[in-house]
Structure 1
Amino acid sequence: MPSLRRPPSAFHRARRAAPATALALGIALSLTFPVAADEVSRPPAAPDPLYDPKPLADDIELPLPCDGRLLLRTVYVLAKSALDDREVNLGYPFTQDEPGYKQGFVAGYRLGHVNGQFEPADLPTAWRTRLDGKLPAAGEGGLKPMLYFIGKYEITQRQYRLVMALEPWLHGAAPEPPACPAPAATDRLPMVDLSWFDALNFTALYTEWLMRKHREALPALGGGAGSAAGGASAYVRLPTETEWEYAARGAQVVDRQALEARLFPRREGNASEDGPLRDWAVYTQVAGGSGQTARLAPIGTKRPNPVGLFDVIGNAAEMVLDPFLLVRGGGRPGGGTGGFVVKGGNYLEGEQTLFTGMRREYPLFDDKGQPSRNTTTGFRIALGTLAAPRARYDELFAGWQAEGRLSNLTSELPPDADAGVKLDRIVADLQRDMPTSTIGRELGTVSEELKRSVALIAAQRRDAAANLIQSSALVAETIGNYNIRLTNLNKQLEEQKAKRNAEGVQFFTNVIADGTSAVQAALSIYLDNVNSGAAYAETLFAEQFQRVQDELGKKPVLGRSLSARATLFMKHVEQYRETRRLDRDRVLNEVLGR
């Protein structure tokens, strides 16, 4: 998705009296805001009742038989290459007083990693045109958008029938493709009552048809499969669980805090708060609800998530590609492989049980040995390709080699894992057994160089930790300064209301709205820093906090305030380490001393 650079606003012109610290930081003057799925410059296509009832301007589409269509949404990860990835939080870190806590081994917090497989150059020309201006350019830091594509809607009954009817013709049992079916009343309903194997068969048949009839409509790496460069073609498959959940949470469109929240952001227009889940999801509403019937709904009935995906929560639950793994304490997957994974919940769920990272395990086979099916479960598709086609070997090897050199250089290493310690042991053995060995002397030199390199990286890591603590204190100070200005602006707004000055009321209302957005954006930066701080070793971070406190103690007035901010930041880092979650509003209140 693209981002828009906002010019200096009325709020920033109105806040000239704010303290110099906030002005020096200038956080709100250069904030970048992603464009939501419904805030794009190119007008969307007209609604297509059968295949695309809620068109978005940057939709990607694949052809289906009988002039049908299948819509995709674009997800990207900023990465160095296909070997790189982004660490993401999956599931949810339930506390002991929450209903999901006793099933933490099923859907609790755990770490995952995600990356795209396609670069913009791999895409068909029509796709590149649709995404023109919507993707970040490769920057000086060497990062570029690595893309993957996932179905905008759940596969419908019509789409499923169109593809599965091709099987006799594709496999030589029929001389011609089947006739196109007449529209049916259930065409727009998600296809359910399928086995995991049925979903895989759909992706296989659809891929075969696309390769025969519309190969040019698919992305291709390095010239595609069969090319002299050793490229690879895209194919249709189920999304992996991590791909599904990253996209469902909002992917590149939302900030880190939103990615880790229980539910994806639900904002319309300039709304400052999330809307009711019933506007985004089909589920069984209990007492106090609208009385919605618990039944499957046509695609596009509700609103899309920030990426532009419909029904990722509720309606039909969705199968994914990888098998079910338990969640172990500490947030890592277990080693035992189970059944298949179903994501997102279904229309029979109640609101309190639904969350974006929801998952369930179902058996591949029923008690009669037949592939198991469920009347509430369907699927959406994704596009995949080879992870390591020959056309990318050189790039992948260079990345792997560079990554391997640094893989053990962490802030704290146990002695048995420290490469320097191991090399010292080898050198000592060689010098004992072969005192005059040239190899021993050369290895000794390598050992010393390795130690110097490790020491340099460790020093840089210590400096980075100290800078993170100090900059976070400055961000918190800026939030406080913004809030002081907002308090004054609210007083001026009340004065304008008392004077019945409509122009003044409108001006200060706009200024306050802009200022509130600036506070929230600065808070996002602060919370990102909390997340980064939790990745450091506790002893290293505590050591650098002590150094920062010592330095701040030498600064009059401002140092005292920043010292208190740094102390609060350390408290938030420790809380996040323990729970892997923080309440955004509570953090803001604590930063403001409420």
Structure 2
Amino acid sequence: MPIEKCKRLAGVAAIITLIAAPLSAQEMPAPQVATDWCQLDAPGLFRAAAETDGVKECPPAQDPATRPRALVIPLPCGRHLAMARIDTPAGTLLDHDITSQGGLFGGGLRERYLQGRRTEPVAGGYSLRGTAGNLIRRAYYVASHEWTVLQDALVTGGALEAWAGESRPDAATDAAACAAHDAAAARITWRDVAPSTGLSYFAAQDRMRALNAYMVAESRRRIAEGQSPLVPWEAGSTGFFRLPSEAEWEYAARGGSVGVGVNAEVAVYLVRDAETDGIRAGELPEIAHFTDGTSRRTFGPVGGRMPNLAGLYDMVGNAAEITQDLFRLVRPDMLHGARGGYVLRGGNALTPPSALGVAHRAEAPFYGIDGEVALAPAGIRPMLGPPILTAGAPEPGVFRSDLRNTQFDAELAEAHAELTKIRQTPGAAFRDEARALLAAAGRDGADDDELQRQLERVEVALEQSEAAINEARRAELAASVRAAATGILNIRVNGVMGITILQQLPDLREMVASDPELAQHSEGQRLRDAINRLERDLDARLAMIDSQTRTVLSLIRSVATQPDTLADEVVAEVRAAVSAEGLWLYEERAWPLFDEALQELRENPSGDVFDAYLARFDTARPVRDRLRAEQ
């Protein structure tokens, strides 16, 4: 028989064999996002979902390549992982958000060293860019719900492992791996999906390893099929799952850059009011599941309380969440150097309500006398981020890690130059001259290796000094901007409050004087004393307006004397932070006057503008003066 005919017959036979093969021998199709995906995997979202014809509609999934604000990742056995994007402000690769974290809960010295305030830098690894390609934010993803018992069944039942091979499993293998999960899912409704608890640190890492093995294998297959991978990439490097650091966890728990920032009081947990669509601080029972110990069920269903502004549920209470970090005490000045066990965050359902909050942290040892420590309340919340030193081409749709990321190198050089730039600060001319002398000395002594190394060390020291000066100056400017805007608002509020009190004083005095019995009674004297105190307090507040105005103008003048670019950047950052906190009064009553004074003082830095701005800040003064004259 001719060779070509044999080849054709062999091909036909292969096709017939494939068609006739039982389903169990064929590869399973790729996991896809189901239309009702949020019912068991994001019950908080399902509870809030809108209904159409009596059917609740889950939010639609978006392409991971777009780095959506809400990311939905399909898993085996019909499960999903919902993640929320947490943004950090950034104009360069080296920018980060300096956050104030932690807080005191009372109870003595031990609690101060356990829960104390500290400063932590936070930044994401995913680059978010504007229309011109400029960097505007950096981001990371955090699971919107605690890791559930159904998601955990994918690990313990072997489903994630079955999908982590070079090819997708066949139907029989998939069914066997999903059997335990499917049986559990059949007994659960969206109202009672429980968090997976009782995990040790090592079990938590096993979950991350299994999740990543599945994600990498399925992403590789999808790329080969011309599709997007399961998770966003940064340049040519895939994102990966891990436990969050303490700082990342608390930044997300406080709402990230869309919430109150991380500079709020320790117990503040902002939520969006469904009735008014405004932002307010959530009450503990609204945001946290906790129990008094009398209930037969310790842990509540995931997503059963209100989310924070970043869309994260149960960051306080329910399961305590394992983080990547080792536990350290909090000194008044910095974190202590000794490192112990791993850190649990957010408290749990049995934590006393007085101690619950986004700042709550506890230590769990890795080992006890019985072996690995797995505390009953301990659960996890996966996060997703890329490596920092990303490889590969930054072009969309290019998934190669064997290329040099030249864009990263260029942006790192730009960020370094911006960070170490010598600005208009005290001693700038001398530091600029020193850097020029170093450069000249380096050229002249290039053949002396030891001299060259010493010169490089001195240059690095100068750069570190300049970076510290620049960061301190930026923080000082931000504090001045916010203090000035808050001062304007206080002046206006105190001025209007003065009118209200002055209008009420005559009525209060008349009320006491018109009742002879009350006038002779001790209660009448108490009321007269209270009225006098109120008037003295009003006089003190109004007397401060002049000095407040001078202070505000001094702060604005200090901003006006800075280079316009730096000052404008800082003003924009502070305004964005205040706006994110929902403090609309600033936008209405403070920022317009701030902008007006800033522009005027830029044009005339030494001008005396006190009288003009006293009248503009304290617009209620004429009415108060009239009321005083009438009284």
Please tell me the TM-score bracket, short chain as reference.
0.5 to 0.7
**Any gaps of 5 or more consecutive residues in structure 1?**
1-43, 121-136, 224-230, 435-439, 441-446, 493-515, 530-546, 565-594
User: Do residues 365 (structure 1) and 370 (structure 2) align?
Assistant: no
Q: 2: distance between equivalents of 1:425 and 1:214? A: 53
1:485 Cα offset (Å): 6.3
Match of 2:376 in 1: 375
Match of 2:531 in 1: none
Shift of the 555–211 alpha-carbon distance from structure 1 to 2, 3 Å rule, reads closer
Q: Does the 8 A contact of 2:142 with 2:383 survive in 1?
A: yes
**Which residue identity lines up with residue 156 of structure 1 in the other structure?**
T
Given the alignment, which residue of 249, 254, 259 partners 1:249?
254
Given the alignment, which residue of 125, 129, 150 partners 1:158?
150
Q: 2: distance between equivalents of 1:285 and 1:48? A: 30
CA RMSD in angstroms comes to 5.1
Match of 1:219 in 2: 231
Q: Does the 8 A contact of 1:117 with 1:148 survive in 2?
A: yes
1:329 Cα offset (Å): 2.3
Given the alignment, which residue of 258, 280, 283 partners 1:276?
283
Q: 2: distance between equivalents of 1:517 and 1:426? A: 49
Match of 2:316 in 1: 313
1:309 Cα offset (Å): 0.8
Q: Does the 8 A contact of 2:271 with 2:281 survive in 1?
A: yes
Q: 2: distance between equivalents of 1:336 and 1:68? A: 41
Shift of the 460–348 alpha-carbon distance from structure 1 to 2, 3 Å rule, reads closer
Q: Does the 8 A contact of 1:250 with 1:306 survive in 2?
A: yes
1:78 Cα offset (Å): 2.4
1:192 Cα offset (Å): 0.8
Shift of the 413–283 alpha-carbon distance from structure 1 to 2, 3 Å rule, reads farther
User: Do residues 176 (structure 1) and 199 (structure 2) align?
Assistant: no
Q: 1: distance between equivalents of 2:139 and 2:352? A: 34
Given the alignment, which residue of 611, 615, 620 partners 1:557?
611
Match of 1:64 in 2: 75
Q: 2: distance between equivalents of 1:255 and 1:304? A: 14
Match of 1:41 in 2: none
Larger Rg: 2
Match of 1:573 in 2: none
**Which residue identity lines up with residue 325 of structure 2 in the other structure?**
D
Match of 1:339 in 2: 341
1:460 Cα offset (Å): 13
1:283 Cα offset (Å): 1.5
Q: 2: distance between equivalents of 1:426 and 1:517? A: 49
Q: 1: distance between equivalents of 2:301 and 2:131? A: 42
1:162 Cα offset (Å): 1.4
Shift of the 313–471 alpha-carbon distance from structure 1 to 2, 3 Å rule, reads closer
**Larger helix proportion, structure 1 or 2?**
2
1:234 Cα offset (Å): 1.6
SS at the partner of 2:317? coil
**Which residue identity lines up with residue 75 of structure 2 in the other structure?**
L
SS at the partner of 2:330? strand
Moved more, 342-351 or 138-147: 138-147
1:205 Cα offset (Å): 0.9
**Which residue identity lines up with residue 585 of structure 2 in the other structure?**
V
1:50-61 alignment runs, 5 A limit: 50-55=40-45, 57=59, 59-61=70-72
1:308 Cα offset (Å): 1.0
Question: Could you list the per-position Cα deviations for residues 39-77 of structure 1 after superposition, in whole angstroms to 9, with x for gaps in the alignment?
Answer: xxxxx9768442122226563211121111111111111
SS at the partner of 2:205? helix
Question: Could you list the per-position Cα deviations for residues 435-472 of structure 1 after superposition, in whole angstroms to 9, with x for gaps in the alignment?
Answer: xxxxx9xxxxxx9xxx9xx99x9999989968975885
Q: Does the 8 A contact of 2:260 with 2:270 survive in 1?
A: no
Question: Could you list the per-position Cα deviations for residues 329-383 of structure 1 after superposition, in whole angstroms to 9, with x for gaps in the alignment?
Answer: 22x3333322111000000012111121211111111224x22101011011111
**Which residue identity lines up with residue 557 of structure 1 in the other structure?**
D
1:18-29 alignment runs, 5 A limit: none
Q: Does the 8 A contact of 1:82 with 1:115 survive in 2?
A: no
Question: Taking structure 1 as the reference length, what is the TM-score of the superposition?
Answer: 0.59
**Which residue identity lines up with residue 163 of structure 1 in the other structure?**
V
Shift of the 139–103 alpha-carbon distance from structure 1 to 2, 3 Å rule, reads farther
Q: Does the 8 A contact of 1:284 with 1:348 survive in 2?
A: yes
User: Do residues 146 (structure 1) and 138 (structure 2) align?
Assistant: yes
Match of 2:201 in 1: 196
SS at the partner of 1:334? coil
Count, aligned residues: 427
1:478-557 alignment runs, 5 A limit: 478=489, 480-481=491-492, 518-519=584-585, 554-555=608-609, 557=611
Q: Does the 8 A contact of 2:488 with 2:590 survive in 1?
A: no
1:490 Cα offset (Å): 13
Q: Does the 8 A contact of 1:61 with 1:71 survive in 2?
A: yes
Q: Does the 8 A contact of 1:87 with 1:113 survive in 2?
A: yes
1:407-426 alignment runs, 5 A limit: 407=420
Shift of the 517–381 alpha-carbon distance from structure 1 to 2, 3 Å rule, reads closer
SS at the partner of 2:337? strand
**Any gaps of 5 or more consecutive residues in structure 2?**
1-33, 50-58, 60-68, 221-227, 395-404, 446-450, 452-457, 504-581, 596-600, 619-631
**Which residue identity lines up with residue 242 of structure 1 in the other structure?**
A
Given the alignment, which residue of 299, 302, 320 partners 1:296?
299
Q: Which of structures 1 and 2 has the larger relative contact order (alpha carbons within 8 angstroms, sep 6+)?
A: 1
**Which residue identity lines up with residue 278 of structure 1 in the other structure?**
P
Given the alignment, which residue of 186, 210, 213 partners 2:215?
210
Match of 2:626 in 1: none
Shift of the 257–251 alpha-carbon distance from structure 1 to 2, 3 Å rule, reads closer
Q: Does the 8 A contact of 2:492 with 2:617 survive in 1?
A: no
Q: 1: distance between equivalents of 2:474 and 2:377? A: 53
Q: 1: distance between equivalents of 2:118 and 2:279? A: 30
1:317 Cα offset (Å): 0.3
Q: Does the 8 A contact of 1:170 with 1:209 survive in 2?
A: yes
Q: 1: distance between equivalents of 2:108 and 2:605? A: 44
1:379-418 alignment runs, 5 A limit: 379-391=380-392, 393-405=405-417, 406-407=419-420
1:198 Cα offset (Å): 0.6
SS at the partner of 1:361? strand
Shift of the 182–106 alpha-carbon distance from structure 1 to 2, 3 Å rule, reads same
Q: 2: distance between equivalents of 1:305 and 1:410? A: 39
SS at the partner of 2:83? strand
Q: 1: distance between equivalents of 2:234 and 2:70? A: 24
SS at the partner of 1:360? strand
Match of 1:105 in 2: 113
**Which residue identity lines up with residue 373 of structure 2 in the other structure?**
S
Q: 1: distance between equivalents of 2:218 and 2:323? A: 27
Q: Percent identity?
A: 23
Question: Could you list the per-position Cα deviations for residues 165-217 of structure 1 after superposition, in whole angstroms to 9, with x for gaps in the alignment?
Answer: 22664688x99341333135577111111111111111111111222235544
Question: Taking structure 2 as the reference length, what is the TM-score of the superposition?
Answer: 0.56
1:428 Cα offset (Å): 13
**Which residue identity lines up with residue 363 of structure 1 in the other structure?**
P
Q: Does the 8 A contact of 2:81 with 2:143 survive in 1?
A: yes
Shift of the 556–86 alpha-carbon distance from structure 1 to 2, 3 Å rule, reads closer
Q: Does the 8 A contact of 2:346 with 2:359 survive in 1?
A: yes
Q: 1: distance between equivalents of 2:471 and 2:98? A: 22
Q: 2: distance between equivalents of 1:328 and 1:411? A: 34
Match of 1:356 in 2: 358
